[in-house]
Amino acid sequence: MSNKKVNNSKFAIRLPIIIAITLAAGIQIGAKFFGSKSVVGDVVKSSSKFKEILTYIDRSYVDEVDTDSLAEYGIAKMLEKLDPHTAYLPAKEAELAMSELQNGFDGIGVEFNIYNDTVYVVTPLSGGPSEEVGIQSGDAIISANETELTGEKLNTRLIFNTLRGPKGTKVDMKIKRKGYAELLDFTVYRDKIPTYSVDAAYLMEDKQTGFIKITRFSETTYSEFMQGLKELKEQGMKRLILDLRGNPGGYLERAVNIADEFIAGDGVLVYTDGKDDRNDRKIYARHKGEFEEGALVVLIDEGSASASEIVSGALQDYDRALIVGRRSFGKGLVQAPIALSDGSELRLTISRYYIPSGRSIQKPYVNGDLEDYYGELMERGDHGEYFNKDSIQTNTDKAYKTTGGRTVYGGGGITPDIFISRDTSHISRYLMELYSKNIIREYATTYANDHKKQLEKLSIDQYVKTFAVDNSMLSQIKKNASALSIDYSEAEFNKSKSFIQRQVKALIARAIWKDRAGLSNSFYKVVNKDDEAVKEALEHFSDAQKLGK
């Protein structure tokens, strides 16, 4: 957000939503817009009025006024009359959002977490500059280049601004490490840090099922995916689980390239349609894919949006994959990012996209009403959709057929073929407080560092089978929680106990067994053992195989 004060709650929540969800499938880079003479004339007339009013305010209003703040407020209110995904991003927010999709940034190369007003290193990125100088998981970064990174004023923006910077520049850091009385001095030279989007790519215990999780569709997603897919095939993979749960979208081209690896022939994968014909396009399957045969299951949920829905929807329309999970978000609008002169950005909806059956998956919206639009996810819970398949509300007036003749629906996301209820059995107040104060991750990191030599004697597969988070470990977690004034409840703890054990075990695994850069295979090897959607996918591969044929 801009530092300027804007009294507009909808504007205040729009930017994080844009970063999280509207890093949209269908962002079209470098779009240009032209209009008829009459339209241009109307625009000039309206903009002149806007400029005229601002000039009078700046020159004659009784109090001092920040006209930049007023202009941004006016832009925000104007965009509210459009759709929920058209948005304005101030310069700093635009830069941060784009860096999340681009192929890396310059920095010191650590995954960090804020805990008790202190920056802790979760892990130094493999091959990055921090790993090279000996920064370790669990290190606390007290300061960087004489900027204090502790206290109440600590936030993500301050950390980014301090640790990121041009390649080759240095960061002098003071590190607090367990077991050392004095702060340790490290000098790290910033380097190019790749951003990864494929979180896992590994062969499961049966030695025939591959598992690939894509967290978003960024610039490098397709190359990451292809590397993982080819490695799995070399290891003997016969069937695949593609996990798109919680994936908010990203670059359209990366999404359709991945869909093309599964779909035979040269049919349409996605097409767009808008007011300006120059924004209309059709994207076809182009080449022989790496996995056009073999059973395929795709996992989705209500957090799967945009590019995720293009991939899962195309695979469903061609009867190529079995879709397992819950109804997806329902975003089928295409944004063009338009760079403005001050570095800010307008993301303007220019068209709708349609998947092969002809359906649009965009859910209904009323202008730019974000509260109502995103509140629809809460409404799904209110009428039981997350727990009962029969409660899924589909628009039966928008029925379409897959290539195999199955009925599918548009106008509200992708409805799965196999429904999986949301698991809330482990959620308790106690668990939420453990997460809010980062106690589970902190404990796992400390344990991994303290028992590193012992744990490294095991292989990851041995660890998954034999290691258990025992009562002594749980007792220490409870002590850590008590030290931070979290009230203990035995009933709540017992409700969350198995989940806490699984998370601690998975986090320890990720800290000890380093996968290829960007991957957290060891983490998912632990959590997937008890993941109901993964279990359901494994049980329905015969159905997926029939679809594939």
Which residue in the list 317, 417, 515, 531 is annotated as catalytic?
317
In terms of average pLDDT, the best of 15-24, 78-87, 122-131, 320-329 is 320-329
481 within 8 A of 434, measured Cβ to Cβ: yes
Residues in the chain: 549
Q: What is the pLDDT of residue 99?
A: 64
- Active-site residue, selected from the candidate residues 213, 331, 363, 525: 331
pTM over 0.75: yes
List, for residues 23-42, the tens digit of each pLDDT value: 333 343 333 343 444 445 67
Instruction: Convert the pLDDT of each residue in 358-412 to its tens digit.
Output: 999 999 888 767 777 877 888 898 889 999 998 888 877 789 999 999 999 998 9
Helices (H), 106-206: 129-133, 156-163
CA distance 147 to 165: 14
pLDDT value at position 137?
A: 75
Query: Computed from CA positions of residues 254, 260, 261, 263, in that sequence, does the dihedral angle turn out positive or negative?
Result: positive
List of residues 6+ apart from 409 with CB closer than 8 A = 359, 394, 395, 396, 398, 399, 400, 415
Q: How confident is the model at residue 336 (pLDDT cuts 50, 70, 90)?
A: confident
Among 306, 308, 351, 428, the active-site one is 306
Taking only the tens place, the pLDDT of each residue in 168-195 is: 999 999 999 877 888 998 999 999 876 7
| pLDDT at residue 491 tops 50 | yes
Higher-confidence residue: 150 or 132?
150
C-alpha torsion angle, residues 357, 361, 367, 373 (rounded to 10): 170
99 or 264: whose pLDDT is higher? 264
Tokens of 488: 């203990």
Distance of alpha carbon 222 from alpha carbon 289, whole angstroms: 13
143 among known catalytic residues: no
Pick the closest to residue 164 from 193, 186, 184 (CA basis): 193
Q: Residue 456: what pLDDT?
A: 95
Q: Which CATH architecture has domain 198-333+348-423+537-548?
A: Alpha-Beta Complex (3.90)
Q: Is 317 a catalytic residue?
A: yes
Domain borders along the chain are: 9-100, 105-193, 198-333+348-423+537-548, 429-513
Is CATH 3.90.480.20 the classification given to domain 105-193? no
Residue 21 to residues 113, 305, 381: CA-CA distances in angstroms?
A: 22, 7, 20
Question: pLDDT, tens digit, for every residue of 508-544?
Answer: 999 999 888 789 999 999 999 999 999 999 999 999 9
Q: Give percent above pLDDT 90 in the chain.
A: 57
CA distances from 126 to 123, 370, 514 (A): 9, 39, 8
Residue 302: C-alpha distances to residues 245, 246, 324, 327, 400 (Å) = 8, 7, 12, 6, 21
